[in-house]
Amino acid sequence: MQTHPTLIIGAGLTGLSCAYHLGHDYLLVEKEDEPGGIVRTRNRHGGFLCDGTGHWLHLRNPAMQALVNKLLPGQLVEHERKAMVHLRGVFTPYPFQANTYGLPREVVLDCLLGLLKARHPEDFGLAAPAAPPRNFRESVERLFGEGICKNFMAPYNEKLMAVKLEEISASYADRFIPRPSLEDVVKGTLGFSRESLGYNAKFVYPREGGISALPRALAKAIPVPPRYETTVTRVDVGKKTATLSTGESIRFRNLVNTMPLKNFVDIVTDAPARIRAAAAKLRATTVHYFDIGVRGPGDAASRHHWIYFPEPDYVFYRVGSYSAVHAGAAPPGCRSYYVEMSGGDAVGLLSRPDELKARVLADLKRARVLSAKDEVLFMELCNIPHAYVIYDEHYEPCRKEILDYLGGNGIQSGGRWGGWNYGGMEDALLEGLQAAQRSA
């Protein structure tokens, strides 16, 4: 049996960052033949660079900024978000809550009045709520009012997560939701929009190689390369041993897991029944997406970075364009898209891929993302199994019970899926650093 002070499961950004910051005495095991997890660029159809849906880098933490700049010196290009919301046939700038200009007047009125009532209930003879919000719907209604909730927040988030807002906890996605001032809202209602609201108003992206450039640079920078095409199949928490798909047994002092928490509990052979029961209650939404490459002139909405589609008569909830951000992502004269689907009509059509493709193309043309003159070169359907974890009533207690049990046995589980949360790439890098500090 081999002994390693730290065993790291998974060479996504969290596992790679952990190895990088440990610098020695680790074994990093990855089941795929490349690093990065879903942060991975596929070269499709000879020259279309498709990341696992849009992966744009939002760096706020100075240490992580320094790390990424060191890994990709001079290679990061800054972009200003060009994101839109499509509702009632109208495109308005994202975020919806601050940009209702151009929508039908009754929608604008509904949204503006709703927001004013939520922020200043006393002016409308209403009482301010006495108790904290019980769920995400109440939370959104109190922040933005009933009109914004009804027209955008509820339909969009329910389409994305395929569950009702009432099932989701009040604090869900807190830090990701832009909160415009009244001044921003009034300006956005009258068409003086300020697009730079929110956490992702600016982002960076590698000049070459797609988003894979980041995990590849990290994998190169670590002293011991990952063991690729090797899966950790079993972990005995009590004995501190793991079994690999190669048949090897590993003894470890620390274990850092980054595979999805729910699946990790499945391979812990000595997990108590209460931990298995808690893991069974963790829920997540699967995202299905098409990577699409086209050649042709495009239409009015072809060059937005990404567009939100809250309405149920569009089969997708979001459409983004790799090539609109980074022209090098598609060959000359071509464009590339990722079309994301989760709940709604998409679910029923998954078993009939040709119908689903036809529906996606028809909806893209109706939304003027594609034109009739565009030639579709390829459409590749992929999925992300646990894309968005669902913050329902079981989320906090079950996650805590599992993480406490693992932590009590010297095991850290982190990253977006290992920690079962809603984090971005920067969080993954940061959690890798923190796991290394705790393992050292």
Ligand X SMILES: Cc1cc2nc3c(=O)[nH]c(=O)nc-3n(C[C@H](O)[C@H](O)[C@H](O)COP(=O)(O)OP(=O)(O)OC[C@H]3O[C@@H](n4cnc5c(N)ncnc54)[C@H](O)[C@@H]3O)c2cc1C
- Residues in contact with ligand X by CB under 6 A are 9-15, 29-32, 37-39, 53-56, 58, 231-232, 258-259, 287, 384, 387, 415-418, 423-426, 428
Least distance from ligand X to the Cβ atom of residue 288, Å: 10
Least distance from ligand X to the Cβ atom of residue 388, Å: 7
User: Alpha-carbon distance 405 to 122, whole Å?
Assistant: 48
Full DSSP string of 376-399: EEEEEEEEEEEEEE---TTHHHHH
Least distance from ligand X to the Cβ atom of residue 206, Å: 13
Number of CB atoms found within 10 A of residue 262's CB = 22
Task: Report the interhelical angle of 154-161 vs 136-144 (nearest 10°).
Answer: 150
CB closer to ligand X out of 18 and 143: 18
Task: Report the interhelical angle of 425-439 vs 13-22 (nearest 10°).
Answer: 40
Least distance from ligand X to the Cβ atom of residue 240, Å: 17
Q: Which residue has the tokens 């003159």?
A: 373
CB closer to ligand X out of 61 and 231: 231
Query: How far from the centroid of its chain's Cα atoms is residue 294's Cα?
Result: 25
Strands 318-320 and 334-341: antiparallel
Cis peptide upstream of residue 155 (ω within 30 degrees of 0): no
CB closer to ligand X out of 9 and 140: 9
CB closer to ligand X out of 103 and 211: 211
CB closer to ligand X out of 91 and 322: 322
CB closer to ligand X out of 55 and 262: 55
CB closer to ligand X out of 16 and 143: 16
Pull the structure tokens for residue 11: 């060479």
CB closer to ligand X out of 103 and 219: 219
DSSP lists the bridge partners of residue 389 as 284
CB closer to ligand X out of 140 and 387: 387
Pull the structure tokens for residue 170: 């009040």
Q: Which residue has the tokens 């949204």?
A: 111
Q: How far is CA 273 from CA 59, 234, 394, in A?
A: 40, 17, 16
Least distance from ligand X to the Cβ atom of residue 338, Å: 9
User: Alpha-carbon distance 418 to 412, whole Å?
Assistant: 9
3-state SS string over 102-138?
CCCHHHHHHHHHHHHHHHCHHHHCCCCCCCCCCCHHH
**Whether the Cβ atoms of residue 432 and residue 415 lie closer than 8 Å to each other:** yes
User: Alpha-carbon distance 287 to 53, whole Å?
Assistant: 10
Least distance from ligand X to the Cβ atom of residue 264, Å: 8
Least distance from ligand X to the Cβ atom of residue 293, Å: 19
Least distance from ligand X to the Cβ atom of residue 261, Å: 11
Pull the structure tokens for residue 140: 């959104």
Least distance from ligand X to the Cβ atom of residue 102, Å: 26
